[in-house]
Amino acid sequence: MSIKGYVDYKRREFCNDIKCPIQIDLNTQKEGSAEYEKIRGICKTDCKYTTYQFHHWLIEKGYLIVRPEK
């Protein structure tokens, strides 16, 4: 759900922006191929970056983290 006047984070935007070597390798593979899935598995279980780094990247890029009120 987008907020009017704002842009949503795009999948792997952080990874591509920081030029993550795993993401660079993933970008050379055909989506859905065995090699693609193997490399993607690294991202799922052994990411080289921390949530702290990701969070601060979001702040630097002007992203807001929001949720609806209860």
Task: Give CA–CA dist 14/54, Å, rounded.
Answer: 7
Tell me the mean pLDDT in the region 2-13.
Answer: 92
Domain boundaries, the chain: 13-60
Using pLDDT thresholds of 50, 70 and 90, give the confidence band for residue 2: confident
Question: With a threshold of 0.95, does the pTM exceed it?
Answer: no
- The token duo for 13 is 């935007």
Reported as a single tens digit per residue, the pLDDT across 9-55 is 999 999 999 999 999 999 999 999 999 999 999 999 999 999 999 99
Q: Where does the pLDDT of residue 70 fall: very low under 50, low under 70, confident under 90, or very high at 90 and above? A: confident
Residue 68 pLDDT greater than 90, yes or no: no
Burial class (CB in 10 A: 0-12, 13-18, 19+), 58: middle
CA 3 vs. chain centroid, Å, equals 20
